Every structure is written in structure tokens, then in C-alpha cells.
Amino acid sequence: MNNTIDISHYAAIADSIRAEAARILEQGVVTAVVAYTTGRRAGSVQPVIITAAAEAERLTFTAASVNNLAVYLTKAKKDIPRSGRIGIVVKGCDLKALVGLMGESQLQRDQLYLIGIPCAGVLASTVRPAEALIAATLAPKCRECDAHLPEGCDYVPAVSLPSAPTLEPSYAAEIARLEALTPAERWAYWKEQFAKCIKCYACRQVCPFCFCEQCLCDRNKPQMVDTTPRPAGNTAWHIVRAMHLAGRCAGCAECERVCPMDIPLNLLNRKMAKELKELFDYEAGFAVHEKGPLNSFMEKDDQSFIK
């Protein structure tokens, strides 16, 4: 079985991004481009915001381009100039997040210039950014990706997407394993996972959907969630986080990637996505929905659990 993921087209994509970013900045289509650039360590890649055509040659795209750049466009992170149209490089999963933000009126489509990436997958971790992309180093979200080719972008590099090997979805398997356990066993599992949490809130800061100006979990009048990194507050935080992302999470799995304690955060998000698909037939996708599943309703919704 061939475990190598073919990413030979990434070099061509990087060239196309450089040319397109230079063109749109030159012609004044956009005022800034949010993209990836080469980092200081060999093979590493980091987000960058460029405002001049001359800077476009710094841009790149490799298997280490893991970041979801949509986070640089949300309200709470005012890192980029808001004065005009912004160009942004998006993978399929990132585009789903942008689409979700458009549905929540956080962004306007005409204020964005989307450069879509025909993505074959990225690394799970940036600890060793120069590593070869094989099944073992591929991000778990990419194993079950249904959005290799983003739709509705303004520009997509003209490269053909190599065929990807079929891989076993890891989240679905893990969810099934946990669902088969007894409630007490599940509680023990999550208790151990949440006990690791150090409340650094990296999961919140990196999430494109956590754009509240003041997070419920930072408020102390009333204090609904204990802020200290101890088991009770940790459990409450992770439950509240999963609930607030239910029906919104686009599955970019950035929360899980940035977690310094390796808590399987995306597992909760994927579980909620699965349940909302079953309950309300809703899935994050490329189409902008004015209302999400939890702020709309139908009279015939299931109420078998209500007496």
C-alpha cells in the first residue's frame, strides 16, 4: 500500500499564488493578502499579511501550511487593515470556516478575494515541518476530507489534483469506539483528557468562530465557568466550547492542532457535527446559510426526548 501523499503540485500552486497576489495588489483589487510565507526553521511555514506587490515573492504553499487563515479576518483579531478588499489563501476546510463567518454576518463576500487551493492534505503538526507527507504524518482531518477542491473562489491555481489514497477516517472510528463504551467509561475517558487542560485558551484564540468580544468563560458576574485550570472548570469549559461551536464548526481542527496538552478537541466537534447532521440534516459546506441549525427551527423537529 502506498502511504505517500502526492503533493508534487504544491510547488506550482506556490508559483500561482505569488503571481496572483502580485497581480491583485498591483492592480489595486485588494489592499492586503493573507497568505503563507517561509518560516525561520527549515521547511516551516507561517502566516503573513502582505500589502505590496513586491512582497508577493515571499509567499509559499507547502504541506506545512496548516494554519486556517480565516482567523485573521474575524472581529476579535483585528490584525489586518479593515479598509478594503482583502485577498486570502484558503484550503477547502478554511473556506468552510469563511463561509460560516459570512453566514453569521462577520464577513462580506464582496470584501474578500478568495485564492482557493486544490489541497491534497497538510501535516498534522508543525513540530517537524520538513517531514514528508505520508499517511502517518497527515493531519487526521485530511484523512476524511471531502473538500479537496474549494468551490466559489475568485482564483484557483490551474493545477490538477493528484488522486489521493483512500484512508480510514480516524475521527469516525474514535467516536464509534467511545459511543460503544458505558457512560461511566466515557466519563472516565473525558475526565482524564480534560484534567490535562492548562486553560491556555489556545483553542479559543485560534478558532475562527470564537470571535465574541467578551467570552462567557471570562466573565465573572456571574461566573458560569470556573477560570482556574482545575478539573471542574476544565470540564465545564470544554463542554461549553463544544456547545458554542455546535452547528458552526467547519472542521478545520486548528483547536486540536494548537492544544499543547494534546486534548482531542476536534473529537467533540466532530461528534456534534455528526449529531446535528442526524438531527437537523445540517452540514458545514460551501454554501452560505443565513441561519445555522441552532438558530433556526422547524415545527416538526424531533421532540421524542421531551415529556
**Contact footprint for another protein (CB under 8 A):** 178-179, 183-191, 195, 216, 224-226, 228, 230-233, 235-236, 239-240, 242-243, 246-247, 268, 271-272, 275-276, 279-280, 293-299, 301-303, 305-307
User: Minimum distance from CB of 191 to another protein (Å)?
Assistant: 7
Determine how β-strand 32-38 pairs with β-strand 45-50: antiparallel
User: Minimum distance from CB of 285 to another protein (Å)?
Assistant: 19
Q: Which three cell numbers stand for residue 166?
A: 483512500
Q: Which is nearer to another protein, 132 or 173 (CB)?
A: 173
* DSSP-derived 3-state class of residue 104: coil
Instruction: Calculate the alpha carbon distances from 18 to 36, 44, 115, 169, 295 in Å.
Output: 10, 18, 11, 33, 40
Q: Which is nearer to another protein, 43 or 103 (CB)?
A: 103
User: Minimum distance from CB of 184 to another protein (Å)?
Assistant: 7
**Nearby residues of 245 by Cβ (< 8 Å), 6 or more positions away:** 207, 209, 210, 269, 272
User: Minimum distance from CB of 291 to another protein (Å)?
Assistant: 11
Determine how β-strand 45-50 pairs with β-strand 112-116: unpaired
Q: Which is nearer to another protein, 253 or 272 (CB)?
A: 272
Burial of residue 213 (CB within 10 Å: 0-12, 13-18, 19+) is: exposed
Q: Which is nearer to another protein, 154 or 226 (CB)?
A: 226
Helical (H) or strand (E) element with 243: helix 231-245
Question: Of how many residues is the chain composed?
Answer: 307
User: Minimum distance from CB of 65 to another protein (Å)?
Assistant: 32
Q: Which is nearer to another protein, 159 or 216 (CB)?
A: 216
Q: Which is nearer to another protein, 147 or 276 (CB)?
A: 276
Exposure string for 66-102, b = 16+ CB within 10 A, e = fewer: bbbbbbbbbeeeeebeeeeebbbbbbbbbbbbbbbbb
User: Minimum distance from CB of 81 to another protein (Å)?
Assistant: 36
Q: Which is nearer to another protein, 221 or 307 (CB)?
A: 307
Q: Which is nearer to another protein, 86 or 284 (CB)?
A: 284
d(CA 46, CA 55): 15
User: Minimum distance from CB of 246 to another protein (Å)?
Assistant: 5
Q: Which is nearer to another protein, 36 or 237 (CB)?
A: 237
User: Minimum distance from CB of 54 to another protein (Å)?
Assistant: 49
Cα angle vertex 177, ends 140, 100, to 5°?
45
The residue to which cell 416538526 is assigned: 300
Q: Which three cell numbers stand for residue 252?
A: 478545520
User: Minimum distance from CB of 292 to another protein (Å)?
Assistant: 10
Q: Which of 203, 232, 254, 300 is nearest to 94 (CA)?
A: 254
Helical (H) or strand (E) element with 141: helix 140-143
